[in-house]
Amino acid sequence: MVVRKMQNGEISMYFEYGETEIEYLKKKDKRLAEVLDKIGMIERQADTDLFSSVVHHIIGQQISTKAQTTIWQRMRDDLGVIDAETIVEAGIPKLQAYGMTFRKAEYLTDFAEKIKNGEFDLDAVWQMSDQKAIAALSSLKGIGVWTAEMILLFCMQRPDVFSYGDLAILRGLRMVYHHRKIDKKLFEKYRRRFSPYCSVASLYLWAVSGGAIPGMKDYAPKTVKSKTTDKKNVK
């Protein structure tokens, strides 16, 4: 069951985890155990409606959280219910008027049409394994592998999501374990160590990457700026 808390009269849902996951990860890894103790419990908001989660993620690509929230609120205020029917009925020009790009509006209408005509079955995705669910979601226009992985974690509450395509997770790993670089082989070593609770490990690596623990640094080599003068525009 997802934890629910009241905020401004609305029910908010959070990614659920507890002592079972915490104690497992602490026993598997001493450095991560220190991170868990220093940060404490993390509350990350979840959206358990798969349709709205896909819409949210498409809207939010390459824009700030504030901009994403503004567009979503405009849609809610104007459409009322945000579902396949209302998105198809709205059409691309109206969706653009809420502040999104033409391409995102196109992705949303394509997704909504697939749901409406039965071409894509969201209910079936819930029954799939992680890999099959990622493949199914990333077949949608505007949804890549990383986005599909985030939907699995923050919507479907899958416990073992660990994304190699997430730069903040790679940064968190470098900071915790003092690596200069995280290649695929090293990443998979940590995946095996944290499994079956990679999703919880991800929450803490994101927190570390974002500066949750003062004094921790990124051990990636610093980029050396070239001292060569750019003479392309010199006449």
To the nearest 10 degrees (0 to 180), the angle between helices 102-116 and 84-97 is 170
How far is residue 67's CA from residue 15's CA, in Å, rounded to a whole number?
23
**39, 207 contact by CB (below 8 A):** yes
Extract the tokens encoding 231. 């003479």
Q: Tokens at residue 5, please?
A: 């808390």
Tokens of 135: 């493949």
Are the C-beta atoms of residues 192 and 13 closer than 8 Å to each other?
Answer: no
Q: Which domains does the chain have, with CATH numbers?
A: 3-44+159-209 (1.10.1670.40), 49-154 (1.10.340.30)
Give the H or E element holding residue 1. Answer: none
The pTM score is: 0.88
In this predicted model, what pLDDT tens digit does every residue of 14-41 receive, in sequence order? 899 999 999 999 999 999 999 999 999 9
| Number of neighbours of residue 233 by Cβ within 10 angstroms | 5
d(CA 155, CA 34): 28
Contact 35, 204 (CB under 8 A): yes
For residue range 78-114, list pLDDT tens digits in order: 999 999 999 999 999 999 999 999 999 999 999 999 9
What pLDDT is stored for residue 230 in this prediction? 41
pLDDT grade for 221, boundaries at 50, 70 and 90: very high
